[in-house]
Chain A
């Protein structure tokens, strides 16, 4: 009340969850700009990391929301190839209209999410274990069915011009149209988490699920919906890749698991839940993609990228802890309680 606009002060800025992520992003950007030369920041260079960031980012946001709500979903590692294979088998192998393939892929994502969510809320088994199970189950099912139906593990898909334009197009020859889907997804989820009341529910669930339920929040339903969203997002990325590259493979998604978790954590989301922001996740995803792709613009061997990402993750977690402590203890008085 005393400060009419508390968000504008430097102190308030430092307390925001994404401050650490922003500093991390700035650091890697400057690093690769210096060592990567002008190519890194050229349109082609920017496209290489923006394209990676876009498909990763579409998945990382719902993963981040699940983590804020105190859950985890690693089944996305199978849902990406499941989404692309479903779309390719239906619209490529069987030649049905592309909308059917897209719809089926998204429905599959929603269904696996529903199963994940139901298992988590009904059995109270940690979601890491539940989704580890569905990760393998979906991978096995996919491989088995693909071989039975098509006789191979790789299916061709030739989408029509409309689908290509919306999902598999290179703007200016280099920027994937997925980048716009990512921006739209980020805007949508930022509204949900930071402006709608459902964001408050998600934060409260991650803080203390029992109290949240007692306060009247339908925690089971929210958990299930979040799992469905992450399943559908992974399927979406998968199907758009199938449309983009004109083919789908059974094994093309496991790297998303760790990459998404790294992006989310670098983005300032608290692993134990209850804290985080969409903007932070976007920054974390960009940071990851810049390191992942920027290395090719430097004179260094690409293998060093993993080292940088590993160190970045550790630094990010430490830095985020520091910023969180500052957020907790900012007050014109002596004693700040621990979280």
Chain B
């Protein structure tokens, strides 16, 4: 087991009166995929927003390489090597692959006030980066990002993060909107990132996807870590039950019938 890059120590998060996370303790290690599992509204997205600098913990500490850090902005988290890839990958659909790859860190050539954006270099680097993750169908850096498939866009975004030196990769339901083949693409790329020594935090509602890449699993139930285990320590059925909020599938099925009969219980929480 390698040393942890990021760890959370007794982290709590509340929004005003609403307590969302309670006493979270977690380690994110280099070359490992941490799968965050849990029902809708369990607090998974909130937890990673703490890591990506969008929110700050109400109490508790986030440590990087053992030293406490304050991640006050997404920019700061990114500077420290924590990269968040959003569900739809590239956020600039009408920019070319090469241009979007280098947003904010544009390579230029020339001198003085006549420095020009080095399109050829940008395209080459971007295409090479994404191809090195096995997406060989991307060959032209002038293509617009919006013309790529969902999986390709995710791959491009991950390749970009890795290229710019990310150490921790955060993926919130990257496979949720993807078909089987596209999802397999993304999972392969997650494995490749792991092989390169990155730490990956991966949120998914699909047990198969979690088991395909996960080394370490944390199950959140109502904002607390209900279970924390490593690969091979639990069966698929046990994990499925945990993901459903600790209830077994059998109880769930019974309760679904209950919903049908009466409308008494809480309605199912909407997806985030």
Q: Which residues of A contact B (CB under 8 A)?
A: 1-3, 6-7, 12, 195-197, 199-201, 203-204, 207-208, 211-217, 270, 274-275, 324, 327-331, 333, 335-339
Contact = CB atoms under 8 A, between A and B. Distances in A.
Given A6-B142, A197-B108, A331 B147 contact: yes
B contact patch SS: loop
Contacts of B104: 201, 204, 212, 215-217
A335 B149 contact: yes
A216 B105 contact: yes
Given A204-B92, A337-B93, A328 B149 contact: no
Contacts, number: 101
Given A196-B117, A211-B91, A330 B143 contact: yes
Nearest to A209: B91
B117 A207 contact: no
Nearest to B52: A214
Nearest to B153: A337
Contacts of B78: 214
18 contacts: A1-B124, A2-B139, A12-B142, A195-B116, A195-B117, A199-B117, A204-B100, A211-B92, A212-B104, A215-B104, A274-B92, A274-B94, A275-B94, A324-B94, A327-B147, A328-B144, A329-B147, A336-B147
Interface in B142-186: 142-144, 146-150, 153
A316 to B, nearest CB: 17
Contacts of A3: 140
Contacts of B115: 196-197
- A-B complex: 9 closest residue pairs judged by Cβ atoms: A215-B104, A197-B106, A207-B92, A216-B104, A208-B91, A211-B91, A275-B94, A195-B116, A328-B147
A211 B142 CA distance: 21
A337 B87 CA distance: 14
Given A201-B104, A328-B93, 4 more contacts: A196-B115, A212-B104, A214-B74, A337-B150
B74 to A, nearest CB: 4
Given A274-B94, A339-B146, A333 B103 contact: no
B68 to A, nearest CB: 23
Interface in B12-71: none
B130 interface: no
B75 interface: yes
Contact of A328 (B74, B91, B99, B146): B146
A207 B75 contact: no
Contacts of A201: 103-104
A337 B149 contact: yes
B116 A196 contact: yes
A333 B151 CA distance: 14
Interface string B66-92: 000000011100100000000000011
Contacts of B75: 213-214, 216
B200 interface: no
Nearest to B92: A207
Contacts of B100: 204, 207
Contacts of B139: 1-2
Contacts of B91: 207-208, 211
A327 B93 contact: no
Given A1-B124, A196-B116, A331 B105 contact: no
Nearest to A206: B94
A136 B73 CA distance: 38
Nearest to B179: A335
B111 to A, nearest CB: 13
Which has the most chain A C-beta neighbours within 10 Å: B93, B108, B127, B147? B147
B137 interface: yes
